[in-house]
Structure 1
Amino acid sequence: MIMMNSDFALAVHSLVLLIYSPERMETSKSMAESMKVHPVRVRKILSLLRKNGYIESKEGAKGGFILKISADKISLKDIYRLTSKNTLKPKCHSCNCEIGANIEDVLDVIFYKAEERVGEFLEEYTIQDIFNILKKRCKENRS
């Protein structure tokens, strides 16, 4: 099983939360409570999403975050590249043997190709798709 860092999941979760209530701005505090993570972690992700043009923020008493781009235009590949690029690459230890001197370069090529394939797969899904799947699942669970 491929493990991605939690920033990917937090970013996707954040974007889906913003679709869930498009009529109001979400605060980092309410999002952190929903995700059960420290608000600083959520603010880090929201800052990254804002800096890259996916969301907008407004300061003040009625401030918070909203989507800047339509959810059907944000692919999971976009979010993966933003939060998780090079996380598949294994950590190599240094050693003095001939194999150890070259293994990192060889593995870099292999894991670069693996990331490209992961990206191709993730490009098939958008944040809107994730929202729709979750909405359907929640509806089924209520039945």
Structure 2
Amino acid sequence: MNSEFIIAVHSLVLLAHRPDGMASSEEIASNVCTNPVRVRKVMSCLRKNGFVDTREGSGGGYRLSKEPGEVTLADVYRALAAGSLAPSWCSGDPESDCLVGSNMGDVMNAVFCGADQQLEVYFESITIGQMLSRLTAKARA
């Protein structure tokens, strides 16, 4: 899992929580506890994928362009992090004479692809609106 996905979900939930639905990259970065440049990079991707709109100038920033109940974590995952479970390196050597050494990379890749698909299925059942509801319930408890 990459940090961009976490920043994206946090940012979208924050925007859903804001009464005016608007926040600057500096405000989001402060809430996420990261650098505004990282936030702008993530928000740019979210904008390209239709999750947020931007308004420039005084009082500008980012705003959700969809209802929080319409955006699933799977939507965000596909936009920012799909396939990120698979490691960039696999053990073994495909040219090896050993059954294990020559095939482990392909087998592990299939395992991670399956895990990625299962994660998307799970994320499909959770919306940004539900994430906000979970936070609200936690605050009341």
TM over 0.5: yes
1:104–1:136 CA distance, 2 compared to 1 (3 A): same
The whole-number CA distance in structure 1 between the counterparts of 2:53 and 2:47 is 6
Aligned residue pairs: how many? 137
Structure 1 residue 14: Cα displacement: 0.2
Structure 1 counterpart of 2:118 = 117
The whole-number CA distance in structure 2 between the counterparts of 1:11 and 1:49 is 8
**Higher mean C-alpha deviation, range 21-30 or range 53-62:** 21-30
**Aligned partner of 2:96: which letter?**
C
What is the RMSD computed on CA atoms of the aligned residues?
A: 1.6
- In structure 1, list runs of 5 or more residues that go unmatched: none
Q: Percent identity?
A: 36
The whole-number CA distance in structure 2 between the counterparts of 1:108 and 1:67 is 35
Secondary structure of 2:23's aligned partner? coil
Work out whether 1:6 is the aligned partner of 2:3. yes
- C-alpha contact (below 8 Å) 2:21/2:64 kept by paired residues: no
Q: 1:39-98 deviations in whole A, cap 9, x for unaligned?
A: 111111100100000000011112101000111011111111222211211321563424
- C-alpha contact (below 8 Å) 2:28/2:39 kept by paired residues: yes
Equivalent of 2:23, from 15, 23, 26? Answer: 26
- C-alpha contact (below 8 Å) 1:25/1:66 kept by paired residues: yes
Structure 1 residue 6: Cα displacement: 1.3
Structure 1 residue 110: Cα displacement: 1.9
**Higher mean C-alpha deviation, range 84-93 or range 65-74:** 84-93
With the length of structure 1 as denominator, give the TM-score of the two structures.
0.88
**Aligned partner of 2:138: which letter?**
R
Structure 1 residue 104: Cα displacement: 2.2
Secondary structure of 1:47's aligned partner? helix
Structure 1 residue 24: Cα displacement: 4.7
Work out whether 1:97 is the aligned partner of 2:124. no
Secondary structure of 2:54's aligned partner? strand
Secondary structure of 1:57's aligned partner? strand
**Aligned partner of 1:50: which letter?**
R
Structure 1 residue 36: Cα displacement: 1.1
**Aligned partner of 2:25: which letter?**
S
Structure 1 counterpart of 2:139 = 138
